[in-house]
Chain A
Amino acid sequence: MKLNSDVKMVPVPSHSIIPERDSGKPVVLEANHLGIQFGGLKAVDDFNLTIGRTEIAGLIGPNGAGKTTVFNLLTKVYQPTTGTVLLDGKDTAGMSVVDANRMGIARTFQNIRLFDKMTVEDNIRIGLHNQVRYGMLPGILRLPSYWQGEKKQHQRAMELLHIFNMEDLADVRAGSLPYGAQRRLEILRALATNPKLLLLDEPAAGMNPTETEELMRTIARIRDEFQIAILLIEHDMSLVMGVCEGICVLNFGRVIAKGTAEQIQNDPVVIEAYLGKQQEEA
């Protein structure tokens, strides 16, 4: 299945490519010469990536290439040792994880991090924390703003749960959901924070081919409905090639190739990174 076949990619000044339809708008994310060093190890080095306003981008690479480290750099879990991240044109230097989220970047985790003891709905309500606000005192005294806020949160939560048809599970404990549903809930919680850029860390891990295909359609649907950009890390190539418009290949902390699905599939450097060097035929 392919959802991205008619997308034309155009180059941008920062040596990256974005879909043609986004070329008139300001880009959502721009990482320039991003790098981080742990002791003597350069986990990520000279990482450049530009993501268009409504692009679905992929970040792939062999195990240990530094993909999750890039996510941690973009979401400010780590502060980069070199380079800058511009989110919506604003420099994120010195910002905290919370600030980055408020600026419009949301993510899911490779090893699911839900609030296990709470219900599905409460997990999403926590995602809505900065969207539907009321203070501590109205909460304790049950003032009108509490009831309005709770009602609004409930409505928004149900709307979000509807995306994956999970309304029936609203009162179930998040920790007792099956694996696939937990992954979907994590995506919804991230969406609840009203992001401009959604980072998905291996969203299809542990899903069967049917579920993966469904997820692929959902990712495209989320982009269309919310008009946001999505960057995903994934090992399932059918998903990456099927839904990602621009793909960035990482190996040993460096970008080794960038391009559309077709360009990547035929790039000898990428093939070498995944399969090893082809022996020269005599």
Chain B
Amino acid sequence: MKKFWKKGGSFLLPFLLVIAAYIMCQIMISGKTMSRSLQGQLIPICAYIVMALSLNLVVGISGELSLGHAGFMSVGAFTGAVVSGLMLKGWGVEDTLLRLICAIIAGGCMAGIVGVLIGIPVLRLRGDYLAIVTLAFGEIIRNILNCVYISVENGRLFFGFNNPGLPGTILLNGPQGAVKVAKIATFEVGFVLVLFTLFVILNLVHSRSGRAIMAIRDNRIAAETTGIPVTKYKMMAFVTSAALAGMAGALFGLNFSTFAASKFKFDTSINILVFVVLGGIGNMTGSIIAATALTILPEVLRAFSTYRMLVYAIVLIAVMLLTNNRQVKSFIGVVKEKVRLLFNKTPHQPKGKEAEGK
């Protein structure tokens, strides 16, 4: 049992946290104590949590700085909008939940495919170069999506590139983005998507493939001489991350009645990176907390009106400085040790002794 808490504790913590937060939200919604603006933020929060978690897989676990994550989100969002529109207008599927789930899966697949295509040239690079090139690809995706026109008629899709004259019901309308998107995203599906993402990422990290990915991050040369194919595992992390981001994008997009590619600009990528860095690189629980807090924060800061973003920036700087302060760190360490003592009467003991007690 002790061993379970020691090993499984860190694994289960993010799940418990998410489930607890979900239950709390549901209680607040049914008790009508949650403000309307916060209620409207719930689905974007879920989407941003998934974005932060998936980016953390690339930045924290694979150790590559990617600045184009919003690109994958937009691919997922637009694919999701098209799939949902096609199902409703083309095939007459009325069930919103089914459409939402299909849209999320399609968004994930499409973003995964784009991830493979971008990964092939990008993963040849390292460090700063990789970061800049991912940034460029993020912008390329956005600009391409600005020119795509898609319409549906009689159950068939019509594509146009820079060519607005399409028959039937327009789904994607170039620079105006996705139009007539039915607002079908629900908080419940968002919650399940967060759990799914956590499940995929944490299980991946604690498996043979995950260890290979981290080995490459920690020491590329040693990983190669130990027989780990570097490109394959970098690609695995990158594509998994892209697919999850696409799913988040589909959820995010289907929460609007209309959205344009300009929603997924470079600053969205940076915002997500801020969640990851603030929550701690490689720390999944941290990403969840940071994504939630920083999505709510601008709403809370409405009282400051014009100075809102200034205060937001100052809060960011303060949190970064505080979490990197040695005294604060040691204080957190003390608290952690106390918590551990609650569950586990003996502090850090060598494993040999524990095995005897088993």
Contact = CB atoms under 8 A, between A and B. Distances in A.
Interface of A: 75, 77, 96-98, 101-102, 106-107, 109, 113-118, 122, 125-127, 129-130, 132-136, 139-142, 146, 149-150, 153, 167-168, 170-171, 189-190, 192-193
B356 to A, nearest CB: 11
Nearest to A122: B211
A134 B208 contact: yes
Interface string B208-243: 111110110011011111111110000010000000
Nearest to A103: B227
Contact of B224 (A98, A114, A139): A98
Q: In the A-B complex, list the 3 residue pairs whose CB atoms are closest, starting with the nearest.
A: A139-B207, A101-B227, A113-B222
B222 A114 contact: yes
Nearest to B353: A168
B182 interface: no
A192 B208 CA distance: 14
A101 B223 CA distance: 11
Contacts of A98: 224, 227-230
B239 to A, nearest CB: 10
A156 to B, nearest CB: 13
22 contacts: A77-B221, A96-B224, A98-B227, A98-B230, A101-B225, A101-B226, A109-B221, A113-B221, A117-B218, A118-B215, A118-B218, A129-B212, A136-B236, A139-B204, A139-B208, A140-B203, A142-B203, A150-B207, A153-B208, A168-B350, A189-B226, A190-B225
A95 to B, nearest CB: 12
A146 to B, nearest CB: 6
A114 B215 CA distance: 9
Nearest to A138: B207
Contact of A129 (B199, B227, B351): B227
B352 interface: yes
B309 interface: no
Given A117-B218, A126-B226, A140 B211 contact: no
Among B210, B214, B228, B230, the one with the most A-chain Cβ atoms within 10 Å of its Cβ is: B228
A96 to B, nearest CB: 8
A124 B218 CA distance: 14
B310 interface: no
Interface in B340-355: 350-352
Interface in B84-110: none
Contacts of B228: 98, 126, 129
Contact of B211 (A102, A118, A146, A168): A118
B209 A139 contact: yes
A130 B229 CA distance: 10
A115 B225 contact: no
Nearest to A167: B352
B317 interface: no
Contacts of B125: none
B222 A115 contact: yes
B212 A126 contact: yes
B211 A126 contact: yes
A168 B352 contact: yes
A114 B207 CA distance: 19
Contacts of B222: 109, 113-115
A187 to B, nearest CB: 13
B218 A75 contact: no
